[in-house]
Structure 1
Amino acid sequence: MVVPPAEQAHRVRELLDALRAALEGAGPALLPLPADSAAADRLRAAARTDLTLAQGTALVLATSGSTGEAKAVELSADALVTSARATAARLGGHGRWLLALPLEHVAAWQVLVRSAVAGTRPVVAPPGDPSALPGAVAALEDGTDAPHFASLVPTQLARALEVPEAADALARLDAVLLGGAAAPAPLLARAERAGVRVVRTYGSTETSGGCVYDGVALDGVAVALEATGQGDEDDDEGRVLLSGPVLATGYRGRPDLTAEAFVERDERRWYATSDLGRVDAAGRLSVLGRLDDVVVTGGRKVAPLAVERVVAELPGVADVLVVGVPDPEWGQRVVALVVPAAGSAVPSLDAVRGAVRERLGAASAPRDLLVVEAVPVRGIGKPDRRAAAALAVRLLATPS
């Protein structure tokens, strides 16, 4: 069942029923098309091929990952339902969900899967309108004493916290799952002060959505690290591998990409992510950023996300994105694009370098600080590092 993007937001009730049938094996798999027309055309063409869907497939979702190439991820009913049940176990039981994400994202479809498994229907709220949250949460609460949940990305949470009524509404929920992008520490602190219970999630379309909550894998999911072959990782750092019954079957019509992403290690099937991670002594995972985002400066590797976490905690910083730009001496130079907090001055470059140097070492300290009105993003809040790097190059080349 192919669902054009223009119809998705208006057919939630119908799509939930169709999804429930697919999960039970009583209806066809669903293929929601992405909003990007070129990617949608490629997936529509793939849907018309003679390829047979893998047994038990209930949902086929588009993802481009770090390559920009649209891929169709086949998700089985077993993987989706297992993920939904594991989420309920972690959150303290099945509940009723607020759907405030576009249906081209796996997190939105997991809201529908969890609703189907729980026998409930979600309440829909426009993704970009925090003023709609109070009414949506009130509708969620109406007539039920079941737990109430929402799934958001950091940009949505940040905007909601700027609207007192929306923040109060989110505070009445039992949990807000937050994923899709890194959550800055100041944002988490603001949410805590507002009484919003945030659960940070990590995962991807290939893992049926979030499968690590607050650094701890869901029941049945395993996390491992693998050396990247790039040289000087710490012993407790490496490529993040994820395993368990939540894994996708593979990429439709692309056995080459499936074999590359889904690997066998110790007689177990793993999804090899594109992320660099660290596991602490308690077994808690911290994601340091994407492997292809790592900046190599003077022969040393710098994880931009780690630098961003330090800079985001400094007074006067509302948002920050760290990128590498070409440099004839260092290979790449670390550059921080900073959005100033309202009514505040951004910290000086010396202050930023000092804070980063103290926490992460001299190699990670930005060599330039660029003040911008907003950092480039794509979709509903994922940082666009390619656009940010291009912006940094232009700004550095512009005489001050």
Structure 2
Amino acid sequence: MTLLGQIENNYLPLAAGFSEQSVAALSSWFQHWLNGDRQVPSALLLAEDEDPALVSQQLGFEPATNNVPDDYTETFLLVRTTGSTSTPKLVALTSKAVKTSVQATHEALAGPGQWVLALPPHHIAGAMVVARSLLAGFSPVVCARPQGNFDLDEFSKATTTALQQTRSTNTPIYTALVPRQIEQILSSSVATASARKYQTILVGGAAMSKQLAQEAKQAGLILVTTYGSSETCGGCVYDRKALPGVKLKVDETGRLLINSPTLMTGYVNASTDWVTDEMGKRFLPTSDLAEIDCEGRLSILGRADWIINTGGEKVNPLAVEARLIDHPQITAAVVVGLPDPTWGEKVCALIVPARQATPNTDPAQNDTTLDLRQIRDWVTTTLGKPCAPKEILLVSQVPTKGIGKLDREAAKRLARQNLPAEDSN
């Protein structure tokens, strides 16, 4: 029987949201599997308002038999990727992989603890918070979302609840957040005081700027940055170092390969192009361009499919974004490539100013306006002229998706709609 046949006949669409009923149902199902009960079906995690039939149709359930291992009968968790492809991939995970990931996390931190759920549990980052808390012997404390969004008052309430539940045992409390949530917390003295109570806050889902990391450190927050994906049961690299059992290497094209006991079994609706080394170890090829230094520290340089080719020069948008965010008048940026009749592609930047600003090309103006020529020079001085944005669009916020990842396709559409079709510089 193919994986498709097994999943279609034995999976449970499970709404995984922030309501008390939803988290209780998810926790109960998790507990059955983590305790070894194989009588319950696998679960496809959905947001509370999603239609299971529509999701299955969107995923395009088609048999995937190429390079599929034989252990799909152990699949217990199905989660969707939030990658750049139009059709999300459906990842099959075993309870063994999830347990191994939880153990590695607790070894890397201060041991098992109480976790506060502040990320959507139908994403792998939120689901792993539930698993970590349950395997530590606690029900996760839910950071409620009365208006549908992350709420600072609810974050403080959830923190207080977690502290009350662990006070007698002196158990550490943890949570996992995305950079945008850290920004929101730092805007409130009350929320910042709550965040200081955590033994560790895992931060992932998107790159965190150096400026934000420094502000968080100065505020007394203990952050650990993570790298991982649905395919690796969430974070498998903490503060640039691989967790126990995780092996990283870079292939001849510069792409990162991952071998880990936390790896998925495979995709349900697509084949997996595993890479096997000379020792027979199976590696997952990623789309991330990376470097690993002599001490094993990982640096993500960008994605192979993000590279902008402008006049024969290869521009990494991640490097340009990092430089832009270092500018004192810029809080966020996303860089994309748009077609250009002369250069093939041109570098375009969507920028969120640190304060209300309008485009200004006159350096004689005061610093309450954003000098776009100076912004280009700012990039040129460190990265070279080809990396300087040909076009700049000021926006109130950068497009995101999932748990806070930059949505580059949406950014590209926004740029096409609002920037000149051809370079007039």
TM-score (norm 2): 0.84
Structure 2 counterpart of 1:385, which letter?
A: R
Q: State yes or no: 1:249 paired with 2:265.
A: yes
The alpha-carbon deviation at position 106 of structure 1 amounts to 0.2
Question: More displaced, 165-174 or 15-24?
Answer: 15-24
Residue among 317, 340, 353 paired with 2:376: 353
Superposed counterparts of 1:1-400, under 5 Å: 2-5=12-15, 9=19, 10-27=21-38, 28=40, 29-34=42-47, 37=51, 40-42=55-57, 46=61, 54-125=72-143, 126=145, 128-144=150-166, 145-228=170-253, 238-252=254-268, 254=270, 257-258=271-272, 260=273, 262-266=274-278, 267-342=280-355, 345=368, 347-397=370-420
Structure 2 counterpart of 1:41, which letter? Answer: S
**How far 1:346 sits from its partner (Å)?**
5.8
Shift of 1:369: 2.1
Tell me the CA shift for residue 249 of structure 1.
0.3
Match of 2:191, as an amino acid? A
Per-residue deviation, residues 321-360 of structure 1 (Å, max 9, x unmatched) = 1111111111111111111113674643333233323332
Unpaired runs of 5+ in structure 1?
A: 229-237
Q: Secondary structure at the match of 1:183?
A: coil
1:168 and 1:115 map into 2 onto residues whose CA distance is 23
> How far, CA to CA, are the matches of 1:294 and 1:355 in structure 2?
20
Q: Indicate the structure (1 or 2) with the bigger Cα radius of gyration.
A: 2
8 A Cα contact 1:314 1:347, kept in partner? no
Counting matched residue pairs gives 386
Q: Measure the CA separation in 2 of the matches of 1:309 and 1:268.
A: 35
- What letter corresponds to residue 248 of structure 1 in structure 2? M
Q: 1:288 to 1:345 in 2, by over 3 A?
A: farther
Structure 2: how far apart are the matches of 1:351 and 1:320? 16
Compute the displacement of 1:36 (Å): 5.8
Query: What is the SS of the residue equivalent to 1:143?
Result: helix
Given residue 2 of structure 1, which amino acid in structure 2 is its aligned partner? L
Q: Cα deviation per residue 1:352-384 (whole Å; 9 max; x = unaligned)?
A: 233323332332222222212221222342211
Post-superposition Cα deviations, 1:149-188, rounded to whole Å, max 9, x if no partner, equal 1101112221222122111111111111111111122221
Q: Identify the structure with bigger relative contact order (alpha carbons < 8 Å, sequence gap 6+).
A: 2
Greater Cα offset, 355-364 or 331-340: 355-364
Residue matched to 1:232 = none
What is the deviation of 1:88?
0.6
What is the alpha-carbon root mean square deviation over aligned residues?
2.7
Indicate conservation of the 8 Å contact 2:71/2:265, yes or no: no
Judged with a 3 Å threshold, the aligned counterparts in structure 2 of structure 1 residues 12 and 53 are, in CA distance, closer, same or farther, namely farther
Seen in structure 2, the aligned counterparts of structure 1 residues 357 and 227 have a Cα distance that, compared at 3 Å, is farther
Q: 1:156 to 1:7 in 2, by over 3 A?
A: closer
Deviation >6 Å, runs of 4+: none
**Maintained 8 Å contact 1:61/1:73:** yes
Q: Deviations over 1:200-255 (max 9, x none)?
A: 11100000101011111101001111133xxxxxxxxx11111110100001254x
CA separation of 1:382 and 1:115: change in aligned 2, threshold 3 A = same
Residues 44 and 11 from structure 1, CA distance in 2 versus in 1: closer, same or farther, beyond 3 angstroms? farther
Deviation (angstroms), 1:271: 0.9
